[in-house]
């Protein structure tokens, strides 16, 4: 059997963590680990939510052989040549896992490869794409009869996080031997979210800790974010927006080797910083999480972890983490602030569901707090949940009911194997 190439097209950090990571694992399980037989390459395209570390994240996946960063994508799309002049085998598949669905049309044609697209909400370029793995049957049902044979319902790739089971017991305090409560803080990874999210969640943590001192707090630090950068957003002198949340600040503590770093507030509250990625095992131990919007709400939903979703807009032009054309407008020099105020006002005026579990269920399973978010209000809600654990259990049960079943990555890898002509995995 001749050697083959699998070229994965992707873009942002969310797609890499929730789509690419489980799929490359499934591809190796399906097709074997012989790199002379099956080679996996990842080419990234530009993304408004990118941090610049996406190539490093993709390179950290042991199943991947080659990675090209987003800054070189335009030249690759136009010329078909990578910056490192990669060679390409005669037979292969272009697998779309983020970006624009037009990209695999162009690149697949240029390389002479079959094309497979994972379609989360809609499928495009039906005549020119060979196969679609879709999240829901409704997407396949919209296909014209002549193209219907190309569609396979694989399910939701984000549900792969649900394969991590919640531990049977909570964390134990080493000093007392008693179980402790753990609250996860997920303020984001981009400056636009961190500027408000860090001081807001720290202020909430102080208020919760004042009532329930047994409660521990942890931030799963994104791999694209350094501890020093995160600490700057916790410093009121570095981040003046913190004054809008009562001026609560914290400083970074780097203890001896073998111990976890943490942020320490003026009131003495310690927020542990964990750099494990992905942090599913850690998050699954949390009684609840305070989180911003994004792919993290899908991951928490898949893990059945109760959450309060925070979209603070204390400063009208501070929120600039929009994608697409709005993201370009709000970050224009000089006029970006005006665009940000206008877009944020429009956003607040339109009722909508923002967290992925709520979108899946088409109802608000977990609360979404948008606008002028006050730390005491969120702390009171979290305290009420902690004091009434049956409420937390009800939310967990609802999240489990809508998160979908894992297995999408395996089904998608089977489609790729079929397009490569593999009847069974070439185990080595």
The CATH number given to whatever domain includes residue 105 is 3.40.50.2000
What is the residue whose two structure tokens read 């893990």? 303
Q: Examine residue 173 and state whether it is found in any structural domain, yes or no.
A: no
pLDDT computed for residue 17 by the predictor: 83
Judge whether 315 and 244 are in contact, CB under 8 Å.
yes
Total domain count for the chain?
2
Residues 6 or more apart from 42 whose CB is under 8 A from it? 7, 8, 10, 20, 58, 64, 66, 67, 68
Q: Do 67 and 210 sit in the same domain of this protein?
A: no
How confident is the chain (428 residues) per 10-residue block, as mean pLDDT? 92 86 95 95 87 86 96 92 95 95 95 96 93 92 93 88 51 55 92 90 97 96 88 94 91 87 95 86 93 87 93 60 49 56 57 83 91 93 96 94 83 96 59
pLDDT computed for residue 179 by the predictor: 59
Picking from 202, 275, 205, the residue whose alpha carbon sits closest to that of residue 235 is 202
d(C-alpha 403, C-alpha 303), whole Å: 8
Q: Examine residue 268 and state whether it is found in any structural domain, yes or no.
A: yes
Q: Do 34 and 89 sit in the same domain of this protein?
A: yes
pLDDT computed for residue 225 by the predictor: 86
pLDDT computed for residue 163 by the predictor: 60
Residues 6 or more apart from 333 whose CB is under 8 A from it? none
Q: Do 273 and 394 sit in the same domain of this protein?
A: yes
Query: 256 is written with which tokens?
Result: 């001896």
What is the residue whose two structure tokens read 């916790």? 234
Q: Do 107 and 185 sit in the same domain of this protein?
A: no
Sign of CA dihedral 277, 231, 198, 270: positive
Q: Examine residue 342 and state whether it is found in any structural domain, yes or no.
A: yes
Q: Do 151 and 214 sit in the same domain of this protein?
A: no
Q: Do 241 and 201 sit in the same domain of this protein?
A: yes
Q: Which helix (H) or strand (E) holds 138?
A: helix 137-141
pLDDT computed for residue 13 by the predictor: 79
d(C-alpha 129, C-alpha 123), whole Å: 10
d(C-alpha 230, C-alpha 221), whole Å: 8
d(C-alpha 330, C-alpha 313), whole Å: 14
- In 254-320, beta strands by DSSP E: 262-265, 270-274, 288-291, 307-312
Q: Examine residue 162 and state whether it is found in any structural domain, yes or no.
A: no
pLDDT computed for residue 169 by the predictor: 40
Q: Do 339 and 260 sit in the same domain of this protein?
A: yes
| C-alpha to C-alpha distances, 332 to 247, 326, 329, nearest whole angstrom | 29, 10, 5
Q: Examine residue 175 and state whether it is found in any structural domain, yes or no.
A: no
Please state the pTM of the whole predicted model.
0.69
Q: What share of the chain is helix, strand, coil (3-state, %, to 5)?
A: 40, 20, 40
Q: Do 78 and 220 sit in the same domain of this protein?
A: no
- Structural domain of residue 413, as residue ranges? 4-155+407-420
- 362 in the Ramachandran plot: left (φ > 0), alpha (ψ -120 to 50) or beta? left
d(C-alpha 143, C-alpha 55), whole Å: 34
Q: Do 413 and 397 sit in the same domain of this protein?
A: no
pLDDT computed for residue 165 by the predictor: 47
Picking from 377, 372, 370, the residue whose alpha carbon sits closest to that of residue 351 is 370
Q: Do 299 and 396 sit in the same domain of this protein?
A: yes
Q: Examine residue 167 and state whether it is found in any structural domain, yes or no.
A: no
Q: Examine residue 160 and state whether it is found in any structural domain, yes or no.
A: no
Q: Do 125 and 193 sit in the same domain of this protein?
A: no
Q: Which helix (H) or strand (E) holds 133?
A: strand 131-134
Q: Do 129 and 201 sit in the same domain of this protein?
A: no
pLDDT computed for residue 384 by the predictor: 97
Q: Examine residue 69 and state whether it is found in any structural domain, yes or no.
A: yes
Judge whether 241 and 233 are in contact, CB under 8 Å.
no
């Amino acid at each position: 059997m001749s050697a083959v190439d699998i070229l994965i097209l992707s873009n942002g950090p969310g797609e890499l963590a929730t789509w690419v990571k489980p799929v490359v694992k499934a591809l190796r399980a399906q097709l074997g680990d012989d790199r002379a037989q099956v080679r996996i390459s990842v080419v990234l395209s530009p993304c408004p939510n990118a941090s610049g570390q996406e190539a490093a994240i993709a390179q950290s996946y042991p199943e991947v052989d080659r990675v090209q960063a987003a800054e070189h994508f335009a030249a690759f799309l136009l010329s078909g040549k990578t910056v490192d002049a990669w060679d390409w085998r005669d037979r292969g598949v272009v697998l779309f896992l983020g970006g624009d669905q037009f990209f695999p049309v162009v690149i697949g044609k240029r390389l002479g490869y079959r094309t497979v697209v994972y379609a989360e909400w809609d499928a495009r370029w039906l005549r020119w794409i060979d196969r679609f793995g879709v999240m829901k049957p409704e997407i396949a049902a919209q296909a014209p009869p002549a193209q219907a044979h190309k569609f396979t319902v694989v399910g939701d790739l984000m549900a792969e996080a649900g394969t991590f089971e919640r531990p049977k017991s909570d964390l134990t305090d080493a000093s007392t031997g008693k179980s402790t409560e753990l609250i996860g803080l997920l303020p984001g990874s981009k400056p636009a979210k961190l500027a408000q999210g860090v001081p807001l969640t720290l202020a909430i943590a102080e208020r919760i800790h004042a009532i329930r001192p047994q409660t521990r707090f942890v931030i799963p630090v994104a791999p694209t974010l350094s501890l020093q950068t995160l600490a700057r957003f916790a410093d009121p002198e570095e981040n003046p927006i913190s004054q809008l949340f009562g001026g609560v600040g914290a400083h970074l503590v780097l203890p001896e080797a073998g111990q976890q770093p943490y942020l320490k507030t003026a009131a003495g509250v310690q927020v542990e910083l964990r750099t494990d990625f992905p942090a599913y095992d850690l998050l699954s131990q949390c009684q609840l999480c305070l989180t911003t919007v994004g792919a993290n709400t899908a991951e928490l939903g898949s893990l059945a972890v109760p959450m309060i979703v925070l979209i603070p807009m204390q400063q009208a032009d501070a929120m600039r983490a929009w994608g697409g054309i709005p993201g370009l407008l709000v970050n224009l020099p000089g006029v970006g602030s005006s665009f940000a105020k206008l877009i944020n006002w429009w956003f607040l005026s339109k009722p909508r569901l923002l967290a992925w579990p709520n979108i899946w269920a088409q109802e608000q399973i977990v609360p979404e707090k948008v606008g002028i978010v006050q730390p005491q209000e969120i702390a009171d809600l979290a305290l009420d949940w902690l004091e009434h654990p049956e409420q937390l259990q009800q939310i967990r049960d609802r999240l489990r009911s809508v998160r979908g079943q894992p297995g999408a990555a395996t089904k998608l890898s089977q489609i790729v194997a079929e397009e490569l002509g593999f009847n069974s995995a070439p185990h080595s």
